[in-house]
Chains A and B, each alone.
Chain A
């Protein structure tokens, strides 16, 4: 933090005024921090000089809890509670890491169902991200449109595993249930309807003149900085880096489907601005729909519990598994000793890493734009604080 400066300005009428920097707390209870995050903002008038985030309001020492489970499988419902708006993705990342450690090959049907669930979850998470971001920018209606469609995804999840938010669906080596009979039909219906909603919201929000004025050229994150800060997901792609783990570091069978990696191109302002990040999310949803439709059409048969191990006791060693979550690279680093629980489990939470760049991209912005910047990072505090 820089030292507060005292200087004198002269107004047009010749009066001399003293100015100084001011510290304002945004949060921990603030609607646009999307949770309990406190930003200590140093302001020069309305210009942001420095942003110092204070985290930890939701800290539960998740990693310590995982070391005290009775087995590896029990960690799955616990990782759900990290990023609670994208629980399927958390499970996916954890089982990918555990299966890498245990060298388990899962049947093709399991891969396909996991892909369908992961992509549905990506859409559900982006719907919240874009919807609440719209609210931050003063647009309430798109939020309602998107929440209506998100409910339908949650209905699909509920049909599959009985839970709407925290699923415990993906197990190490398989899944807790196979798909229910009407799932394919209902999911196809959703995909068809959702394409219409996406178009509506594009017209209402993303290409809205006022929205563009609020978001273009704001919070520009240059490519090099994004890589050096290890930003990932829409944060990284919004800055024009063509990088997606689903394609570039395959952890499941995404190569069987036709889809594109979306990157920001500075359409409305500069590459890597808030508008670009938001638009990457918007366009990614269309790609997810494509993947889901293809996966549903070619779903192989098989037993989803065939590879689930009865007892898990890995050989001592360590493994780092990662998946492309809605917020970016979600990784789990597991250290195994000769035991039935993880000796050490570190979660590499994408929101935690993405948030660390906030000071860099907020300097010189207006205080009102800070709201846009925080919204565009798409943080979930359950994951940041763990």
Chain B
């Protein structure tokens, strides 16, 4: 299916939950969807016969200054088409439903986004830090991150 058809299908099924889209003149066509519906949309994307997005290539957190984003790169091994979903959440309440139950690969990607951005994936079974030490404070990939001076008595800036 083309990006336009995929978008139209999502729009038809989820209506206002698909808030924006850019399908032409971009390297990867994408649709912005409502954060609170992302799990339902992901499930539909995976299970609908026409879409069959069985493979989550990548899940990335982004800091858009003032709000956080999560980008889902979807791919279908069955139909060999791609699509990108994006969600945006306010920085003071960065909660996104987890898609771990849809694609198990999202487990570690979501833990990484939680670790480095502090985005909370609600419904994730085991949301703890993955790359940083468990007692690290702060989320380093945030644009306003300040490197702490000490970590457990050790000087951090070198």
A-B interaction: yes
Residues in A lying within 8 Å of B, measured CB to CB: 55-56, 59, 61, 63-64, 100-101, 103, 225, 227-230, 241, 243, 248-249, 317-320, 322, 329, 331, 333, 335, 344, 346, 348, 352-353, 356-357, 385-386
- Known: A64-B140, A241-B77. Contact between A356 and B57, CB under 8 A? no
Asked whether B1 is an interface residue with its Cβ less than 8 Å from the other chain, the reply is no
Are A56 and B131 neighbours in the complex by a CB distance under 8 Å?
yes
- Looking at the assembled complex, report how far the CB atom of B10 sits from the nearest CB atom of chain A, in whole angstroms: 19
Which A residues touch B109, using CB under 8 A?
353
- Looking at the assembled complex, report how far the CB atom of B3 sits from the nearest CB atom of chain A, in whole angstroms: 14
Are B105 and A356 neighbours in the complex by a CB distance under 8 Å?
yes
Which residue of chain B has its CB nearest to the CB of A353?
B105
- Looking at the assembled complex, report how far the CB atom of B80 sits from the nearest CB atom of chain A, in whole angstroms: 7
- Looking at the assembled complex, report how far the CB atom of B70 sits from the nearest CB atom of chain A, in whole angstroms: 11
Asked whether B119 is an interface residue with its Cβ less than 8 Å from the other chain, the reply is no
Could you show 27 A-B contacts with beta carbons less than 8 Å apart? A56-B131, A59-B131, A61-B131, A61-B141, A63-B116, A63-B141, A101-B27, A225-B104, A227-B77, A228-B54, A228-B105, A230-B56, A230-B103, A317-B27, A318-B27, A319-B27, A319-B28, A320-B28, A320-B58, A320-B73, A331-B73, A344-B63, A346-B58, A346-B60, A352-B108, A357-B104, A386-B131
Which B residues touch A63, using CB under 8 A?
116, 141
Are B132 and A56 neighbours in the complex by a CB distance under 8 Å?
yes
Which B residues touch A249, using CB under 8 A?
80
Are A227 and B73 neighbours in the complex by a CB distance under 8 Å?
no
Known: A61-B140, A228-B105. 14 other contacts (CB 8 A): A55-B131, A56-B129, A56-B131, A59-B131, A59-B132, A227-B54, A229-B104, A230-B103, A331-B58, A333-B58, A344-B60, A344-B62, A357-B104, A385-B131
Which B residues touch A344, using CB under 8 A?
60, 62-63
- Looking at the assembled complex, report how far the CB atom of A100 sits from the nearest CB atom of chain B, in whole angstroms: 5
- Known: A317-B27, A386-B131. Contact between A333 and B55, CB under 8 A? no
Asked whether B45 is an interface residue with its Cβ less than 8 Å from the other chain, the reply is no
Q: Which of B57, B104, B130 contacts A348 (CB 8 A)?
A: B57
- Looking at the assembled complex, report how far the CB atom of B56 sits from the nearest CB atom of chain A, in whole angstroms: 5
Give the B interface residue count (CB, 8 A). Answer: 31
Which residue of chain A has its CB nearest to the CB of B105?
A230
Are B55 and A227 neighbours in the complex by a CB distance under 8 Å?
yes
Asked whether B71 is an interface residue with its Cβ less than 8 Å from the other chain, the reply is yes
Which B residues touch A331, using CB under 8 A?
57-58, 73
Are A64 and B141 neighbours in the complex by a CB distance under 8 Å?
yes
Which residue of chain A has its CB nearest to the CB of B56?
A230
- Looking at the assembled complex, report how far the CB atom of A3 sits from the nearest CB atom of chain B, in whole angstroms: 16
- Looking at the assembled complex, report how far the CB atom of A96 sits from the nearest CB atom of chain B, in whole angstroms: 11
Are A322 and B62 neighbours in the complex by a CB distance under 8 Å?
no
Which B residues touch A241, using CB under 8 A?
77
Once the chains are docked, how many angstroms separate the CA of A357 from the CA of B77?
19
0 or 1 for each of B81-111: is its CB under 8 Å from A? (1 = yes): 0001000000000000000000111011100
- Looking at the assembled complex, report how far the CB atom of A336 sits from the nearest CB atom of chain B, in whole angstroms: 10
Are B77 and A229 neighbours in the complex by a CB distance under 8 Å?
no
Asked whether B133 is an interface residue with its Cβ less than 8 Å from the other chain, the reply is yes
Asked whether B154 is an interface residue with its Cβ less than 8 Å from the other chain, the reply is no
Which B residues touch A248, using CB under 8 A?
80
Scan residues 101-150 of chain B and give those whose CB is less than 8 A from a CB of chain A. 103-105, 107-109, 116, 129-133, 140-141
Q: Please indicate which of the listed interface residues A64, A229, A230, A348 has the most CB atoms of chain B within 10 Å of its own CB.
A: A230
- Looking at the assembled complex, report how far the CB atom of A39 sits from the nearest CB atom of chain B, in whole angstroms: 14
Which B residues touch A317, using CB under 8 A?
26-27
Once the chains are docked, how many angstroms separate the CA of A283 from the CA of B28?
33
Which A residues touch B132, using CB under 8 A?
56, 59
Which B residues touch A356, using CB under 8 A?
104-105, 107-108
- Looking at the assembled complex, report how far the CB atom of B29 sits from the nearest CB atom of chain A, in whole angstroms: 11
Which A residues touch B133, using CB under 8 A?
56
Which residue of chain B has its CB nearest to the CB of A63?
B141
Are B55 and A230 neighbours in the complex by a CB distance under 8 Å?
yes
0 or 1 for each of B30-45: is its CB under 8 Å from A? (1 = yes): 0000000000000000
**Shortest beta-carbon contacts, A-B, top 9:** A230-B105, A319-B27, A346-B60, A348-B58, A56-B131, A356-B108, A59-B131, A229-B105, A100-B27
Which residue of chain B has its CB nearest to the CB of A343?
B62
Which A residues touch B28, using CB under 8 A?
318-320
Which A residues touch B103, using CB under 8 A?
228, 230
